[in-house]
Amino acid sequence: MSSKIRAGLIGVGAAVPEKILTNADLEKMVDTNDEWITTRTGIKQRHIAAPGEAASDYAIKAGKIAMERAGITAEDLDLIIIATITADSPLPACASIVQDKLGATHAAAFDLQAGCTGWVYALSVARNFVENGAAKNVLAVGVDLLSTITNWTDRTTCVLFGDGAGAGIVSAMKDDEYGFYDFVLGSDGSGAPALSIEAGGSRVPITHEALDEHRNKVVMNGREVFKFAVKVQGDAAELILNRAGLSMEDVDLVVPHQANVRIIESAVKRLGIPEEKFYVNIPRYGNTSAASIPIALNEAVEAGRVKKGDNILLVGFGAGLTWGAGVMKWAY
């Protein structure tokens, strides 16, 4: 046992909207079909928030579950980090709303934006707060209601996205044999145009014309993001395992960003980790952006796929363009 603090996850949770939108539903909305969506992406359905619901609603639900499982209350939180691209409104941070509604009276709160990589970034930041002694308990949430920024007339994007939230409590490990080994984070902003929203920020304000042209919604060059994703996903996974001193055989479970089943299959091939070790739930949720990895990790835990001492690899990529990977020894 060393005197160094080692941070790790002590509880996870997730929450998704009740309403389900199937591929058959989408066939009635745009020129698409179940066969195309299934073979190109693996997606069969996605959860969609009700009108009037916001990111904080789901962040709070997921956060409460994670806190309960971790055996802590909101008063025990020192920091709340919300990874999102769909905060309730541009101002204030979604994290401040969550902090208030949870009654986390001792917690600082901020949002973090790294697209679909957001939760991996949030865990890495939380880990640093805990390991340098600046926080004891951090609530790290990945939440996105992508349905609110989707152009529902664009078949190249609207079939991909879904809504939801996943959360984790990052704390000091009682036994420092467990917890995070390390993270790698990256960004290549030259790829920004491949996945972006043009209007609604400081460069291009929202105008009636911009709204008419859906310029406040996501546009994506799917092929470019696909190529980028396949490369950085493999690179980041190899790098983080190397840094942690782990071999591919040492990995018990991989929880990749759920964007496209073909991107996950490329990781299976490149890394040589057996397919059964990859947790895949994309058929039921689609791409939920920052929520995708924590929803999948939570499901894996609930399904009994994770046991104490397992080495778990998380790997994500997304708008920015960004990427990130982390590896941990599961603590409970």
- Contacts with ligand UT7 by CB under 6 A lie at 32, 36, 40-41, 116, 155-156, 159, 195, 222-223, 225-226, 229, 259-260, 287, 318
Nearer to ligand UT7 (CB atom), residue 17 or residue 318: 318
User: How far apart, in whole angstroms, are the C-alpha atoms of residue 64 and residue 281?
Assistant: 22
H runs (alpha helix) in the chain? 23-27, 34-41, 55-70, 94-102, 118-131, 155-158, 208-212, 222-244, 261-271, 282-285, 292-302
CB of 191 to ligand UT7, least distance (A): 11
β-bridge partners, 144: 164
Least separation in angstroms between CB 315 and ligand UT7: 12
Q: Catalytic amino acids?
A: 116, 257, 287
Neighbours of 178 (CB within 10 A): 19
Q: What's the start-to-end Cα distance of the chain, in Å?
A: 18
Report the alpha-carbon distance of residue 58 to residue 72 in Å, rounded: 19
Residue with smallest beta-carbon separation from ligand UT7: 222
Using the structure block, give the residue that is written with the tokens 């509604």: 101
CB of 109 to ligand UT7, least distance (A): 25
Closest approach, Cβ 130 to ligand UT7, in A, equals: 28
What Å distances lie between residue 20 and 144, 161, 294, 332, CA to CA?
16, 12, 19, 32
- Cβ proximity to ligand UT7: between 89 and 153 the closer is 153
Report the residue number, 32 or 187, with the smaller CB distance to ligand UT7: 32
Q: Which of 135, 297 has the CB closer to ligand UT7? A: 297
